[in-house]
Amino acid sequence: MSVAQFAVFGHPIAHSLSPQIHQDFARQFGIRLDYRGIDAAPDQFEVAVREFFANGGVGANVTLPHKAAACALADQRSEAATRAGVANVLTRLPDGRLGAHNTDGAGMVRDLTERHNMDLRGHDALLLGAGGAAQGVAWALLDAGVQTLTIVNRSPAAADALADAIGEPARAHTRYWEDLGEIGSYDLIIHATSAGVLHQPLSLPLSLVGARAFCYDLSYGEAAIGFLTWARAAGALHAYDGLGMLVETAADAFELWHGQRPDTAPVYQALRPQYG
Ligand code: ATR
């Protein structure tokens, strides 16, 4: 009997943890699956995706830099994918068409609230970045009860576009990156720029970090070191990377594909020591 095929598309993809995470989940249920990383340059992404699904692929995760393209090429989009305009999961529907989902926001909120015991309700949150990663989590933060979301991006137009798309001016608004030193402090700071992934230095004023601040980077490993080092130097009470978010978003994709909810705790605990 052939084994169901899954994949993660990215560029680069060599260091993706998704194959290992999905195999660990599958073992919890005695499911056998084929899950591989597929490196596709942006101009090859759509062709590679269509080939994968035409050859029997069941589901795919999508990571940088393809999340917007994944959302665009799908035939159907979940509400989370529609409003974010980016997708991290593609699924072959029963009629052969492709469905897009975005599990980033829900996964991040679950990591924050359940793993790190953070009550998001009532917080004034600062979101650094307005690209695909930020778009994936902005609505989920508001849904989870943050009182206000201040979006700050190096290019103001992208921050304005995200705030406009959210369309709740009393809760979600923007400030200029150049003014970060003058906007006071926050007790919840979400870092969603790709500076760390791109090995670019991130220069942020220490004054942003409130006395009991919770600082969170959507990335993990080396990419998160710059932000987390800054957060600790600024006196943050908590500074966490997004490794738990990765495992939670993977669990949502796994449930979509297999109809069973994996236990994320042992998978997270097994990965944690490798990432500091
Ligand atoms: P991702 O899917 O990781 O969000 P993206 O959609 O390309 O990738 O968005 C990258 C985000 O990181 C953008 O918000 C970008 O800011 P600009 O819109 O001004 O480009 C931000 N970013 C990238 N490098 C940065 C840097 N060195 N300093 C600050 N922001 C940076």
Nearest CA to ligand 1 atom 27: 195
Mean pLDDT of the chain: 97
pLDDT of residue 29: 98
- Reported as a pLDDT band with limits 50, 70 and 90, residue 59 is very high
Name, in order, each residue with C-beta under 8 angstroms of 209's C-beta and a sequence gap of 6 or more: 185, 186, 189, 215, 231, 234, 235, 236
CATH number assigned to the domain covering 4-102+248-275: 3.40.50.10860
CA distance linking residue 125 with residue 220, whole number of Å = 20
Which atom of ligand 1 approaches the CA of 198 most closely? Answer: 24
Asked about 97 being catalytic, the answer comes back as no
Q: pLDDT category, 215, cuts 50, 70, 90?
A: very high
Q: What digits encode the pLDDT tens for the residues 171-194?
A: 999 999 999 999 999 999 999 999
List the one residue out of 239, 173, 172 whose CA is nearest residue 204.
Answer: 239
CB atoms within 10 A of CB 108: 26
For residue 144, what are the β-bridge partners? Answer: none
132 Cβ below 6 A of ligand 1:
yes
CATH architecture of 105-241: 3-Layer(aba) Sandwich (3.40)
Q: What is the 3-state secondary structure (H, E, C) of 197-240?
A: CCCCCCCCCHHHEEEEEEEEECCCCHHHHHHHHHHHHCCCCEEE
Q: Is 64 in the pocket of ligand 1 (CB under 6 A)?
A: yes
Ligand 1 in contact with 156 (CB < 6 A)?
no
With a 6 Å cutoff on the Cβ, whether 196 touches ligand 1 is no
Is the preceding omega at residue 201 within 30 degrees of 0, hence cis? no
How many angstroms separate the alpha carbon of residue 58 from the centre of ligand 1?
Answer: 31
Residues 12-29 pLDDT 10s = 998 899 999 999 999 999
In the sheet with 124-128, reading across from the earlier edge strand, the strands are 172-176, 148-153, 124-128, 186-191, 209-217, 238-240
pLDDT at 69 over 90: yes
Q: Is the CB of 133 under 6 A from ligand 1?
A: yes
Q: State the span(s) of the chain assigned CATH 3.40.50.10860.
A: 4-102+248-275
How much is the pLDDT for 1?
62
pLDDT at site 276: 77
- The predicted structure's pLDDT at residue 52: 98
pLDDT of 2 strictly over 90: no
d(CA 56, CA 68) in angstroms, rounded, equals 23
Query: What tens digit of pLDDT does each residue of 80-101 get?
Result: 999 999 999 999 999 999 999 9
Express as a percent the part of the chain with pLDDT over 90: 98
User: One-letter amino acid identity for 65?
Assistant: P
Note the pLDDT tens digit of each residue in 107-153: 999 999 999 999 999 999 999 999 999 999 999 999 999 999 999 99
* Alpha carbons 109 and 245: distance in angstroms, whole number: 8
Q: Note the pLDDT of residue 127.
A: 98
Each residue's pLDDT tens digit, 231-250: 999 999 999 999 999 999 99
Please, where in the chain does CATH 3.40.50.720 lie? 105-241
| Catalytic option among 66, 67, 110, 123 | 67
pLDDT of 149 reads 98
Give 104 Cα–ligand 1 centroid separation in angstroms: 17
